[in-house]
Structure 1
Amino acid sequence: MASVVPPPAPGRELSNPPSDGISNLRFSNHSDHLLVSSWDKSVRLYDASANVLRGEFMHGGPVLDCCFHDDSSGFSAGADNTVRRLVFSSNKEDILGKHDAPVRCVEYSYAAGQLITGSWDKTLKCWDPRGASGQERTLVGTYPQPERVYSLSLVGHRLVVATAGRHVNVYDLRNMSQPEQRRESSLKYQTRCVRCYPNGTGYALSSVEGRVAMEFFDLSEASQAKKYAFKCHRKSEAGRDIVYPVNAIAFHPVYGTFATGGCDGFVNVWDGNNKKRLYQYSKYPTSIAALSFSRDGRLLAVASSYTFEEGPKQKEPDAIYVRSVNEIEVKPKPKVYPNPPA
């Protein structure tokens, strides 16, 4: 009888997790530090390898996103309409600027040296974080969007903005006067997450209806013929297809494969080029709210946090798991070609 290989353990659980829903988590590009934003109004800085809470910063309302600037500072955005700069050494923060509605997304561009924020006030704003604090001295520009901003992603000088109404705008940060491309999501339902491919050729987009679309920037017929969408994070029960939102996408920095996290509590790893699922981790206690690979791809941070898709209910405690990533889980398998006839 063949032995059954059990799925890998969920990973090490970080101590001192947030007390309410986790909105996002991000690994630093320079270390194993992890920044976590939460609906409990906090942003927490962890040393993920040592399992130590290094700092905590507070907003005036739920924090909806966070990102690193470098290993000494970061940024956060929240439902109190503010964008904040976090200084890790002093454990202090200051308000960089504001939107007219909750700020859903924050991304720092190393290529442009700017912070980009997207809000439910239907605008995108670019900031120069090197200036003195105060809105007027740091705001570079404000760019109207067709709807509320739901997700942002950067690769090089390219910025992808996904909004309500299934709109997708693609910008070049060197010329923000208008989008390079105005697109509509190829998925029929509300966008949940967008993430650019590490090689800069396109982006993956997920929806509330258990699907992911693989898109390409090049508008040539040959490139557009390569785009596709696939079903994931769903199951059949009593003859019915139960479909779960895909909340998170994270690309592996070395292999270009990617992980998805859904409201079914599962994390799947995919080889987008070969259209295959490489791995599925054992089920987490509740919905997967966010995912992030470390800079070298050795670690994967998983936010297991109930996302209220089914309404309020007694929920599992919010938890952050950090798992060591085995190469077999994320490395594409080589294609096997049949032997040519003699």
Structure 2
Amino acid sequence: MNAAPVPLGSGGKELSKPPTDGISNLRFSNHSDHLLVSSWDKTVRLYDANANVLKGEFLHGGPVLDCCFHDDSSGFSACSDNTVRRYVFGSGKEDILGRHDAPVRCVEYSYAAGQVITGSWDKTLKCWDVRGASGPEHTLVGTYPQPERVYSLSLVGNKIVVATAGRHINVYDLRNMSQPEQRRESSLKYQTRCVRCYPNGTGVKFGFALSSVEGRVAMEFFDMSETAQTKKYAFKCHRKSENGRDIVYPVNAMAFHPIYGTFATGGCDGYVNVWDGINKKRLYQYSKYPTSISALSFSRDGRLLAVASSYTFEEGDIPHEPDAIFIRSVNEVEVKPKPKTVPAPS
């Protein structure tokens, strides 16, 4: 089911002073409308999204591939110079939490475990305890080998899902990291771009979504019983027909709405779609953005959606629109699942 595009209009504002090179990720805080942005221009930027103010900027030794908040006063980043860094926003203090043996692709903070989890192209996952003394010799909890380079990871509660090259998926329980609870192969046939867990409290908290370079999204469930596994499915998105040819775009980004459990996808076609995964319907498609969508994030209350319009070099080094971050006010009708209609009795 396709819905009509929604224009940017007054619901989308462009942040001033955006990164000057590819935007690798952006994250809203769980405590405010602050937005953390990592970029290939070697910076992490902190914005007040509501006030459209750049509040801080931290320079790295190489492109920054991911970032996340600890709380409203501090955050973490994953860098191509193999480092995991921690920032204190108010003081501008920065330190190196630890290192990998290759670029660090992903970083997440677990409130349940009080740990930072990082995934790297050195084919390892590492957990860092940030509650105790500083210094990598005190903070590294464990190193966990992965079957391939880590491309994406996501967590909910004590579960963490790791997606690697080679279409491998590992599911861990942070309370016992000795080995994965589950080792899977992606149900999508092509390289994984993004994995995102369902948020808690939405009624669909027992699974995760995967996106691929081949314009598809898969809905997966943690429960490995035959009954649960028959419910998983995949669908096509971010495609178009042109001159009788089907053009397929990578799905770079996904973000779940924190209230309704619906989710947004962003692709190299420059579109953002909102989906009702339970009823298997597209709720909305926003008007096309200037270039590829590289990252998405809903604010803590679901009122705002941050969209990174940033060319991802899927067609090589060609002229492209400059990088931009748009903050869209979200209307309930765009993200709230529509009730199923019951035929009237005859």
Partner letter of residue 51 of structure 2? A
Partner letter of residue 71 of structure 2? D
How far apart, in 2, do the equivalents of 1:314 and 1:262 lie?
Answer: 18
| Counterpart for residue 205 of structure 1 | 210
Contact kept? 1:95, 1:133, Cα under 8 Å: no
| Counterpart for residue 16 of structure 1 | 17
Contact kept? 1:94, 1:133, Cα under 8 Å: no
Contact kept? 1:23, 1:65, Cα under 8 Å: yes
| Counterpart for residue 309 of structure 2 | 304
How far apart, in 2, do the equivalents of 1:95 and 1:292 lie?
Answer: 26
Q: 1:184-208: per-residue Cα shift (whole Å, max 9, x none)?
A: 0000000000000113300000000
Of the three residues 246, 256, 273, the one matched with 2:261 is: 256
Between the aligned residues of both structures, percent identity stands at 85
Contact kept? 1:57, 1:92, Cα under 8 Å: no
Superposed displacement of residue 315, structure 1: 1.4
- What pairs up with 1:73-88 in 2 under 5 angstroms? 73-88=74-89
State TM-score, norm by structure 2: 0.96
| Counterpart for residue 227 of structure 1 | 232
| Counterpart for residue 250 of structure 2 | 245
How far apart, in 1, do the equivalents of 2:266 and 2:51 lie?
Answer: 25
Partner letter of residue 254 of structure 2? I
Partner letter of residue 321 of structure 2? E
- What pairs up with 1:279-318 in 2 under 5 angstroms? 279-318=284-323
Contact kept? 2:5, 2:286, Cα under 8 Å: no
- What pairs up with 1:21-100 in 2 under 5 angstroms? 21-100=22-101
Partner letter of residue 47 of structure 1? D
Q: 1:8-51: per-residue Cα shift (whole Å, max 9, x none)?
A: 43710000000000000000000000000000000000000000
Which has the higher mean CA deviation after the structures are superposed, 290-299 or 190-199? 190-199
Q: How many aligned residue pairs are there?
A: 338
How far apart, in 2, do the equivalents of 1:13 and 1:5 lie?
Answer: 19
Partner letter of residue 329 of structure 2? S
Superposed displacement of residue 92, structure 1: 2.1
| Counterpart for residue 176 of structure 2 | 175
Of the three residues 321, 324, 328, the one matched with 2:326 is: 321
How far apart, in 2, do the equivalents of 1:217 and 1:295 lie?
Answer: 24
**Residue 139 (1) aligns with residue 144 (2):** no
Contact kept? 1:86, 1:93, Cα under 8 Å: yes
Superposed displacement of residue 6, structure 1: 5.7
How far apart, in 1, do the equivalents of 2:272 and 2:6 lie?
Answer: 15
| Counterpart for residue 270 of structure 1 | 275
